[in-house]
């Protein structure tokens, strides 16, 4: 059996290695357009910033090492220009000498990946504008920063690559402006949780411009102008375009393969395309979202690796199936870690799913053990069924551990309140006896059993301040004096029983505290005494972060870079 694989990196290289492990006699040929067959795509921004110092560390396997271990013919700088399914051949161009030849196959695997989106703006062909997708892109940016020593840079796009590149350019001492067309960074997060990401970006000196559209570019004698809609032009030395990627499916389209959303390749759960003996994996394929069961695109290395393995299994006579992706991801943002899995509240609502949520701010480990740091967790679930839909966490230590537990719980089909039952490892340097994931489960269990009722940040603007309800802050007078929500009176939770006569039992009571714990206790005291009480989800810390971020976004300006 002869297998030809188009494209390396996560999907193609994984498929090649797996096929060899399963079928020693197979002939395996890989064609890769770039000069690198298997590289650390997610590590590319960190080479620019110097965290990864050695260029060779970006290369996971070379054609020579792949041949030595797996006897796979890895051909770099070879571009497949056409697929002929009827004759089961591909046309290949050697980019080093421009020769063209035909290669036959018994089985074909497409792993062409995705290409950076680069809109047809005026001036977009400037040599001061870069994209970041391949090792070659990285080396070009690194060469530019080393030789030109730019003082400023504009990064367009606030996803993974945009944020990581902005951070690494900042680490080089470059003045960075991050421009994002949406009203928030990091689309997998809800707007409220993104507030913490925005704060970390701003705290570290990056000029953040949200809800701002690029309208074109123009080279100048000393740099490049970035023209923006409805605001002033930015003058800068270089631009990184990181507004997303699109499936690279020209070959598939020309070969007559069925295409799906955004031109992606349609595959079944065995990674088979619509044409016999042709498989496809990675960023170029549409897959099922595990949570919603709808088709989606998930451009992440984990799913691509799994798909490459599944395609290889089936090529070698197995029966492996891809059950869908849920977009689990994590990103370092300076000292902060932000992670998500499943779908967010915004997506769930757009799909007509009736949702509920809990928001909590636990410590990363036992509070009495030195060094603990607060994280903010948001767990989203279906209101009636308590089906887990997704989770988002921002914090510093222990974020990755908790998101992985929640991702596993979603995959296992657990109910949200079952998080309380998970038996998780505990020692003071690592966690609390009540792990943050358990705490989320306890809160959801309380909601299910009617022990607590919640109110949310988005209700704040519509809460009447006319005295028809009671707004109660259960923190200490000192905390209250440092900042509080409009219209809230202050009665500390420890004084509540003695001062309950100050409250009208006929009015609903909306309670808030710093993290949500004391207000929960206050709510239970009130409910135990005949009041209709509601606890704020997230606490004043969360409330204040979202409120301040929205205020800053309204005032956002190009910070002295105006024309």
Torsion-angle region of residue 211: left (phi > 0), alpha (psi -120 to 50) or beta? left
φ, ψ of residue 279 to 5 degrees: the values are -110, 160
Helix 9-22 vs helix 63-70: angle between axes, to the nearest 10 degrees?
20
φ, ψ of residue 246 to 5 degrees: the values are -125, 145
- With contact defined as beta carbons under 8 Å apart, do 249 and 267 qualify? no
d(C-alpha 201, C-alpha 334), whole Å: 8
Q: In what order do the strands lie in the sheet with 336-342?
A: 329-333, 336-342, 388-395, 376-382, 355-360
Nearest to 487 by CA among 558, 543, 409: 543
d(C-alpha 305, C-alpha 48), whole Å: 25
- With contact defined as beta carbons under 8 Å apart, do 160 and 240 qualify? no
- With contact defined as beta carbons under 8 Å apart, do 376 and 394 qualify? yes
Residue whose token pair is 């030849």: 101
Q: Which are the contacts of 528, defined by CB distance < 8 A and separation ≥ 6?
A: none
Q: Token pair for residue 137?
A: 């892109």
- With contact defined as beta carbons under 8 Å apart, do 167 and 190 qualify? no
d(C-alpha 334, C-alpha 313), whole Å: 40
Catalytic residue among 42, 222, 513, 559: 42
Give the Cβ contact number of residue 73 at 10 Å. 16
- Rg over CA atoms, the chain: 27
Nearest to 48 by CA among 145, 125, 126, 119: 145
Give the Cβ contact number of residue 346 at 10 Å. 17
The DSSP output letter for 259 is B
- With contact defined as beta carbons under 8 Å apart, do 549 and 494 qualify? no
Active site residue 513: no
| SS3 state of residue 460 | helix
Q: Token pair for residue 188?
A: 């997998």
Nearest to 138 by CA among 158, 116, 109: 116
Torsion-angle region of residue 560: left (phi > 0), alpha (psi -120 to 50) or beta? left
Torsion-angle region of residue 7: left (phi > 0), alpha (psi -120 to 50) or beta? left
Q: At 80, which helix (H) or strand (E)?
A: strand 78-84
- Alpha helices, DSSP H, located in 122-159: 135-148
- With contact defined as beta carbons under 8 Å apart, do 242 and 159 qualify? yes
Q: Which are the contacts of 368, defined by CB distance < 8 A and separation ≥ 6?
A: 428
Give the Cβ contact number of residue 532 at 10 Å. 16
Q: Which residues are catalytic?
A: 42
């Amino acid at each position: 059996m002869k297998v030809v694989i188009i494209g390396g990196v996560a999907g193609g290289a994984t498929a090649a290695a797996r096929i060899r492990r399963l079928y020693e006699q197979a002939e395996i040929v890989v064609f890769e357009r770039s000069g690198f067959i298997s590289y650390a795509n997610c590590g590319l921004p960190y080479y620019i910033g110097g965290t990864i110092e050695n260029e060779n560390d970006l290369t996971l396997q070379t054609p020579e090492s792949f041949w030595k271990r797996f006897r796979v013919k890895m051909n770099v700088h070879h571009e497949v220009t056409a697929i002929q399914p009827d004759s089961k051949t591909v046309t290949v161009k050697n980019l080093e000498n421009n020769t063209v030849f035909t290669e036959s196959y018994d089985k074909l695997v497409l792993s062409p990946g995705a290409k950076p989106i680069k809109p047809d703006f005026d001036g977009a062909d400037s040599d001061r504008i870069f994209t970041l997708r391949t090792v070659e892109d990285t080396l070009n940016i690194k060469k530019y920063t080393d030789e030109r020593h730019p003082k400023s840079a504009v990064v367009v796009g606030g996803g993974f690559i945009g944020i990581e590149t902005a951070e690494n350019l900042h680490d080089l001492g470059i003045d960075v402006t991050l421009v994002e067309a949406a009203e928030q960074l990091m689309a997998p997060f809800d707007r409220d949780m993104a507030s913490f990401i925005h704060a970390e970006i701003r705290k570290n000196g990056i000029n953040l411009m949200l809800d701002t559209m690029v309208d074109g570019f123009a080279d100048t004698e000393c740099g490049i102008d970035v023209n923006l809609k409805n605001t002033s032009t930015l003058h800068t030395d270089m631009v990184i375009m990181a507004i997303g990627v699109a499936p690279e499916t020209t070959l598939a389209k020309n070969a007559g393969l069925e295409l799906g959303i955004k031109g992606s390749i349609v595959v079944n759960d065995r990674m088979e395309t619509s044409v016999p003996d042709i498989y496809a994996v990675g960023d170029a394929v549409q897959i099922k979202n595990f949570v919603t069961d709808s088709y989606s695109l998930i451009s992440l290395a984990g799913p691509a690796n799994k798909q490459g393995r599944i395609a290889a299994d089936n090529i070698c006579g197995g029966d492996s199936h891809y059950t869908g992706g849920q977009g689990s991801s994590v990103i370092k943002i300076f000292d902060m870690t932000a992670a998500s899995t499943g779908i967010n509240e915004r997506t769930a609502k757009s799909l007509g799913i009736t949702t509920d949520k809990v928001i909590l701010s636990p410590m990363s480990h036992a509070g009495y053990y030195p060094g603990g740091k607060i994280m903010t967790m948001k767990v989203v679930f279906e209101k009636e069924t308590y089906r887990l839909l997704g989770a988002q966490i921002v914090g510093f230590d222990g974020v990755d551990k908790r998101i992985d537990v929640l991702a596993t719980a979603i995959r296992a089909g657990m109910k949200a309140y079952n998080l309380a039952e998970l038996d998780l490892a505990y020692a003071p340097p690592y966690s609390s006896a009540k792990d943050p994931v358990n705490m989320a489960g306890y809160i959801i269990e309380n909601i299910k059993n009617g022990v607590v009722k919640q109110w949310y940040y988005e209700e704040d603007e519509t809460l009447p301040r006319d005295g028809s309800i009671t707004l109660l802050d259960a923190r200490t007078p000192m905390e209250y004096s440092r900042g509080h929500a409009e219209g809230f009176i202050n009665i500390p939770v420890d004084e509540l029983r003695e001062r309950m006569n100050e409250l009208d039992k006929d009015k609903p009571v909306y309670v808030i505290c710093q993290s949500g714990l004391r207000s929960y206790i206050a709510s239970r005291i009130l409910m135990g005494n005949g009041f209709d009480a509601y606890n704020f989800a997230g606490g004043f810390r969360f409330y204040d972060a979202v409120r301040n971020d929205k205020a800053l976004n309204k005032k956002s300006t190009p910070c002295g870079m105006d024309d």
